[in-house]
Amino acid sequence: MKTRLLKDALYEQVARIGKAVSSPKRLEMLELLAQGEKTVEALTEELSIDVKLTSAHLRTLKEARLVVPRRDGRYIYYRLAGKDVANLWVNLREVAEEHLVELKLALRQISESPSQLVAVSRAALLEQVISGDVVVIDVRPQSEYDEAHLPFARSMPLVELEKRLSELPTDKEIVAYCRGPFCLLSDEAVALLSARGYRIRKISDGVSEWQAAGLPVEHNSCET
Amino acid sequence: MKTRLLKDALYEQVARIGKAVSSPKRLEMLELLAQGEKTVEALTEELSIDVKLTSAHLRTLKEARLVVPRRDGRYIYYRLAGKDVANLWVNLREVAEEHLVELKLALRQISESPSQLVAVSRAALLEQVISGDVVVIDVRPQSEYDEAHLPFARSMPLVELEKRLSELPTDKEIVAYCRGPFCLLSDEAVALLSARGYRIRKISDGVSEWQAAGLPVEHNSCET
DNA sequence: GGAATATTCTAATAGATGTTAGAATATTGC
DNA sequence: GCAATATTCTAACATCTATTAGAATATTCC
């Protein structure tokens, strides 16, 4: 029957998206690109893989229309095709976290001490920030902060943290965040600052998680 | 560095979910299972594939923890591991619809005449139903209706439609729905009823789409 | 225009996956 | 216990995918 042929064609198309997200390296790329556009070189660096392999994976993502390239001089910048793509990544990760025991176990290695994690809800945290009880710092690279960041968050890239300690309050609780639950930047910040006596904890959310939950984020530079 | 090894392990786990949803047949299974649990035989029938292949695909889905089997007598019933899995399917389909031109084109073959589609929003439709201006019929098999259905919807399986015409109002608009945008049952209902002079249109939503949008659905039988 | 740089394209191979067929397992009904 | 039924398990093959290496392209800088 011909309805079978039509159905096959429909599911085949959705499977193109599925195939694109079936590789660990491509998923890592999507998470990085969710922080803002990046060059092939930058992605290569972050993923610790060969440039040619990066290019090949980007090609796959491009063919599934999940990423879009833009040339600027000698560099080619890739960005996500839309917010829905960042959302899909969060969705996939959450399903994996919910159902895969192996992932739950592996995640425990990141935040070994649960005391590092902020206990309150997103909404409650936001209130604490507004009332001034808590300072939220974004420890990702400056460029990612510029692209989008949590409301009221201050940019404090991990690499600059040690020389900018004077900017941090000693009488308030500090909450760090980075790219999401798989990102280790905020954990390094917690380690560094708590060793120096600061009251610091982290949230596992990144901008994508915040947005996927329907909460607003702030932008510095104006974009589409 | 050891953080690379940890990261690789994390993304590898999420990729298990990605691999599970990278096959058209498995996606079709997920959509069917989103309507309620089904036997291997029933899935085989719907997908028009070999039983052994159905079993192999179910195994893959089971290993990714997306589906759960339950034995009852001679039959084994499979169901989704959670609502988040149905949600993931909707999410994947929506990303595909948004970015893949080929899918947009293929979808036009289903609802060739846009007049068949209900123009109003989900919320507005609900109001029309409550006020009695519109009757919503669920043309999926009875068992799927029993599992979950749109609020105020009447069960009117496509196979029984012709002999139950007397139950349908001739003075109101009828709105049909089925499993979702890829399902053809509601289109057949529109064809059948409009040929007999009924005022009938369809919505492309199914229960999963409705739920993914955060709207409530009704259950007949009580389950977890 | 020519050298340098960033990235892609092409080709090749090892490994993973989809599909099919045949044997094996678990349950029911007698 | 035995036949019938539903499903899975094992094995095999063709196909697709990830990865690596070398050549080609496009841009900038001089």
Last residue of a domain, one of A56, A82, A108: A82
Q: Are residues A202 and A118 in the same domain?
A: yes
Is residue B221 situated within a structural domain? no
Residues B32 and B75: their CA atoms lie apart, in Å, by: 17
Which chain B residue has the Cα nearest residue A9?
B106
Query: Nearest 5°: phi and psi at A75?
Result: -100, 150
Q: Which stretches of chain A score pLDDT less than 50? A: 222-224
Tell me the β-bridge partners of B218. Answer: B149
Last residue of a domain, one of B24, B54, B82: B82
Q: Would you state the pLDDT for residue B222?
A: 42
Helix axis angle, B101-108 relative to B83-99, nearest 10°? 100
Is residue B222 situated within a structural domain? no
Q: For B110-138, write each residue's pLDDT tens digit.
A: 776 666 778 788 999 999 999 998 999 99
Q: Could you tell me if residue A175 is left (phi over 0), alpha (psi between -120 and 50 degrees) or otherwise beta?
A: beta
Q: Would you state the pLDDT for residue B94?
A: 97
Residues B69 and B79: their CA atoms lie apart, in Å, by: 7
Q: Which two tokens stand for residue B75?
A: 């039959």
Last residue of a domain, one of A52, A82, A112: A82
Domain that holds residue A72: 2-82
Is residue A70 situated within a structural domain? yes
pLDDT band at B3 (very low <50, low <70, confident <90, very high): confident
Closest partner CB to B85 (pick from A7, A27, A95): A95
Residues of B within 8 A of A81 (CB-CB) are 99
Percent of all residues in chain B with a pLDDT value above 70, rounded to a whole number: 96
CA atoms within 13 A on the CB side of A127: 5
For A52-99, give the DSSP string. HHHHHHHHHHHHTTSEEEEEETTEEEEEES-HHHHHHHHHHHHHHHHH
Q: Which two tokens stand for residue B77?
A: 């019933």
Higher-confidence position of B173 and B110: B173
Which bases of chain C are under 7 A from a protein CB atom? 5-11, 17-23, 26-29
Q: How far is A221 from chain B (nearest CA, A)?
A: 25
Q: Would you state the pLDDT for residue B112?
A: 65
Contact assessment for residue B175 and residue B125, using Cβ atoms and an 8 Å cutoff = yes
Pairing of strands A154-155, A134-138: parallel
Residue B211 has pLDDT above 70, yes or no: yes
Distances (CA, A) of A25 to A55, A92, A159, B15: 11, 14, 24, 9
Q: Are residues B54 and B107 in the same domain?
A: no
CATH number, domain of A157, equals 3.40.250.10
Residue B189 has pLDDT above 90, yes or no: yes
Q: Which two tokens stand for residue B96?
A: 């595909």
Residues A172 and A175: their CA atoms lie apart, in Å, by: 10
State the nucleotide closest to A41 in CA–C1' terms: C6
Q: Does the pTM of the predicted model rise above 0.85?
A: yes
Distances (CA, A) of B194 to B109, B180, B185, B186: 18, 20, 14, 12
Q: For B67-92, write each residue's pLDDT tens digit.
A: 999 999 899 999 999 999 999 999 99
Query: What does strand D contact on the protein, if contact means CB under 7 A?
Result: A 19, 22-23, 25-26, 49-50, 52-53, 56-57, 60, 71, 73-74; B 39-41, 44, 51-52, 54-56, 58-59, 69, 74-76
Contacts of residue B135, defined as CB under 8 A and 6 or more positions apart, other chains included, come to B129, B154, B168, B169, B172, B173, B174, B175
Query: Nearest 5°: phi and psi at A36?
Result: 135, 165
CATH number, domain of B40, equals 1.10.10.10
Q: Over range B8-18, report the average pLDDT.
A: 96
Contact assessment for residue B165 and residue B196, using Cβ atoms and an 8 Å cutoff = yes
Domain count, chain B: 2
A57/C8 CA-to-C1' distance in Å:
12
